[in-house]
A and B are shown apart, each in its own frame.
Chain A
Amino acid sequence: MTSETHTEARRRRMSVLARCNSNRLHELWDKLRLEPAHKTLRGPESGLIMLRGRIGGTGEPFNIGEATVTRASVKLEDGTVGHAIALGRDGAKARISALIDALCQTMEAAVLIDAELIAPISQELDCDDEKRRQQTAATRVDFFTMVRGED
Chain B
Amino acid sequence: MYVAVKGGEAAIDNAHRLLADRRRGDRSVPTLGLDQIAEQFALSVDRVMSEGSLYDRRLAALAIKQARGDLIEAIFLVRAYRTTLPRFGHSEPVDTGAMQVERRISACFKDLPGGQLLGPTFDYTHRLLDDELDGDPAVEPGALRDGAAEPATQIADILGGEGLIEEDPLAPGEPGDINQTPMEFPLSRAMRLQSLSRGDEGFLLALGYSTQRGYARSHPFVGEIRIGEVEVEVFVPELGFAVPVGRVQLTECQMVNQFKGSAKTPPQFTRGYGLVFGQSERKAMAMSLCDRALRAEELGEDIVAPPQDQEFVISHCDNVQATGFVEHLKLPHYVDFQAELGLVRTMRAEYEATRNEDVEIREAAE
| Residues in chain A within 8 A of chain B (CB atoms) | 7, 10-11, 14-15, 18-19, 45-69, 71, 73, 81, 83, 85-89, 129, 131-141, 143
Q: How many A-B residue pairs have CB under 8 A?
A: 231
Residues of A within 8 A of B254 (CB): 56-57
- Whether the Cβ atoms of B177 and A60 lie closer than 8 Å is no
Determine if B93 is an interface residue (Cβ-Cβ < 8 Å). Answer: yes
A106 CB to closest chain B CB (Å) equals 17
Q: Which of B131-139, B234-242, B336-344, B355-363 contacts A (4 or more CB under 8 A)?
A: B234-242
Complex partner residue of B243 from A11, A58, A140, CB under 8 angstroms: A11
- Whether the Cβ atoms of B243 and A60 lie closer than 8 Å is no
| Residues in chain B within 8 A of chain A (CB atoms) | 49-50, 53-56, 58-59, 82, 85-94, 96-97, 100-103, 110-111, 115-120, 141-147, 149, 154, 156, 166-175, 177-179, 189-191, 193-194, 197-198, 231-232, 234, 236, 238-239, 241-248, 250, 252, 254, 271, 273, 275-277
Known: A7-B241, A64-B277. A53 touches B94 (CB 8 A): yes
- Whether the Cβ atoms of B234 and A49 lie closer than 8 Å is yes
A59 CB to closest chain B CB (Å) equals 3
- Whether the Cβ atoms of B89 and A55 lie closer than 8 Å is no
A42 CB to closest chain B CB (Å) equals 9
Interface centre among A56, A68, A71, A138 (most CB of B within 10 A): A56
- Whether the Cβ atoms of B245 and A86 lie closer than 8 Å is yes
Q: How far is the CA of A137 from the CA of B97 in the complex (A)?
A: 17
- Whether the Cβ atoms of A58 and B275 lie closer than 8 Å is no
- For the complex of A and B, the 6 pairs showing the least CB-CB separation, nearest first, are A59-B168, A56-B168, A87-B246, A62-B190, A15-B244, A135-B142
Complex partner residue of B100 from A87, A129, A134, CB under 8 angstroms: A129
Residues of B within 8 A of A50 (CB): 87, 89-91, 177, 179
- Whether the Cβ atoms of A88 and B246 lie closer than 8 Å is yes
- Whether the Cβ atoms of A66 and B82 lie closer than 8 Å is yes
- Whether the Cβ atoms of B91 and A138 lie closer than 8 Å is no
Known: A68-B55, A135-B144. A143 touches B111 (CB 8 A): yes
Residues of B within 8 A of A54 (CB): 93-94, 96, 168, 170
- Whether the Cβ atoms of A65 and B177 lie closer than 8 Å is no
- Whether the Cβ atoms of B116 and A141 lie closer than 8 Å is yes
B291 CB to closest chain A CB (Å) equals 9
- Whether the Cβ atoms of A48 and B82 lie closer than 8 Å is yes
- Whether the Cβ atoms of A18 and B245 lie closer than 8 Å is yes
- Whether the Cβ atoms of B193 and A65 lie closer than 8 Å is no
A66 CB to closest chain B CB (Å) equals 5
Residues of B within 8 A of A135 (CB): 141-144
Q: Considering the complex, give the chain A residue whose CB is closest to the CB of B198.
A: A65
- Whether the Cβ atoms of B168 and A136 lie closer than 8 Å is no
- Whether the Cβ atoms of B169 and A68 lie closer than 8 Å is no
- Whether the Cβ atoms of B194 and A64 lie closer than 8 Å is yes
Known: A19-B247, A64-B197, A71-B88. A55 touches B115 (CB 8 A): no
Residues of B within 8 A of A56 (CB): 156, 166-168, 254, 271, 273
- Whether the Cβ atoms of B87 and A60 lie closer than 8 Å is no
Q: Considering the complex, give the chain A residue whose CB is closest to the CB of B59.
A: A68
- Whether the Cβ atoms of B87 and A49 lie closer than 8 Å is yes
Q: How far is the CA of A143 from the CA of B115 in the complex (A)?
A: 10
Q: Considering the complex, give the chain B residue whose CB is closest to the CB of A45.
A: B86
Q: How far is the CA of A136 from the CA of B86 in the complex (A)?
A: 38
B176 CB to closest chain A CB (Å) equals 8
- Whether the Cβ atoms of A136 and B101 lie closer than 8 Å is yes
A147 CB to closest chain B CB (Å) equals 17
- Whether the Cβ atoms of A52 and B244 lie closer than 8 Å is no
